[in-house]
Amino acid sequence: MKKLKINFDELQKAMEDISRDSFDYYLDTETGEIIALSEELINEAKIRLYDDESDEIDEDIEYIEYDVVPDVPDWIIDEVELALEVLLDESGRYIRISERTSDRAYQCMSEFISTIKDSVLKENLLQALNGKGAFRKFKDILLDFPKERKRWHGFNAKCMKKEIIEWLMSIGIEPIS
């Protein structure tokens, strides 16, 4: 098993971004770095990489030569190069970070509720877990209870650490501090 230094906070943020509508996340298995690639960049790269159309040049295209090369900022060039490196990787160096499942999040919230002493809050949180929008309702209720909300964040971080370690072990990585 490969030992690798991992930033648990960054990995937790990546796994908890379940919508993936702005970014997708990859783990560099050589450095432990969490790489966030914008969905826009990924989609554009996929279109260019996996375009089924022929690479032949149409005869009716007129080419214009420019005296000035467009000035593209280095950070954009670096991001495009990194995205291509990640997307074209066949060695297994870059592994997509999976989203936290709703089952695991629900389980963690249920376990947290069992630790609450205030019976009214406990009942409200249990009711929040039933039906649509359970995760949002759960968090909204805790907004009125700052101490319990803070305790929830610590509890959730512990749950996530266990999940992260399980995921890392499943891909052959032993996290080190």
CB 112 within 8 A of CB 152: yes
Give the pLDDT score at 58.
Answer: 54
Q: Helix (H, G, I), strand (E, B), or coil: what is residue 105? A: helix
Strand partners, 95: 27
pLDDT, averaged per 10 consecutive residues of the chain (177 residues), comes to: 95 90 92 91 69 54 59 74 87 95 94 97 95 91 97 97 96 92
**Which amino acid belongs to residue 64?**
I
User: Parallel, antiparallel, or unpaired: how do β-strands 2-5 and 173-176 relate?
Assistant: parallel
- On the CB side of 11, how many CA atoms lie within 13 Å of its CA? 26
Give the pLDDT score at 73.
Answer: 72
